[in-house]
Amino acid sequence: MTPFIAEIIGTFILILLGNGVVANVVLKGTKGNNSGWIVITTGWALAVYVAVLIAGPISGAHINPAVTIAVAIEGSFEWAKVPTYIAGQMIGAMLGSLCVWIFHKKHYDATEDPDGIAATFCTAPAIRNTGSNFFSEVIGAFVLMLAVFYIAGPEFTSASGESATIGLGSLGALPVALVVWSIGLSLGGTTGYAINPARDLGPRIIHSILPLKDKKTDWGYSWIPIIGPILGGALAAGLYLTFT
């Protein structure tokens, strides 16, 4: 398996399980309907755990363009590989989102709330304020990436023998999952904590394509969960370089 395929599969699993838990909580008639924020944040944390466990030994399990760009800034990842990784992440996110829709199709059909349906694809702010929403995404990704740097260490050698690639591997899966869980519980209530451009943009594209009722894709907001996490990751990289 190549790192490109690993990033597709890892991000696919991330979105399948992550947006899957949102669908289970939000959509009408599921056995998890209305089970709440704790279930969503726990499900997302476990989604990260499974995705990192699978992709970590091959690609380092970036599964997030903000991670890929941040480690390139830090110097542990080649800039030439960034487009390939991000392409894999976007493909995986779109396929994962499509699979969530297929899996829950009957429950989508039974759900009347377009905002609830949109929430199973992409993020939206609890209170819409551009500055506040952007700050939330920057800080969430900053915390994630700073933790990743210290969990993963400066070097990682994948199963394919590639070095100079920061990654998580199977041993880092649980710590990173706990970091994501913490971010969701403490910082996620303002914007839904995308902290991952592919996690938001890929499913948002799928949402815009699928035949859903009264769609509200909200492209006007979409730049925040793209630029915010990238900036947050870059700031974490800068801090890490400054003090290590």
Task: Judge contact between 70 and 236, C-beta under 8 A.
Answer: yes
Residue 107 pLDDT more than 50? Answer: yes
Tell me, what's the pLDDT at 161?
42
Confidence of residue 105 (pLDDT cuts 50, 70, 90): very high
Residue 104 pLDDT more than 60? Answer: yes
For 77, the domain range is 3-243
Task: Judge contact between 4 and 88, C-beta under 8 A.
Answer: yes
Structural domains in the chain (count): 1
Q: What is the CATH number for 155?
A: 1.20.1080.10
Residue 99 pLDDT more than 90? Answer: yes
Confidence of residue 156 (pLDDT cuts 50, 70, 90): very low
The tens digit of pLDDT for each residue in 20-33 reads: 999 999 999 999 99
Residue 237 pLDDT more than 90? Answer: yes
Residue 171 pLDDT more than 60? Answer: no
Query: The pTM is what?
Result: 0.93
Task: Judge contact between 183 and 140, C-beta under 8 A.
Answer: yes
Q: Which residues neighbour 79 within 8 Å (Cβ) at sequence distance 6 or greater?
A: 72
Residue 154 pLDDT more than 80? Answer: no
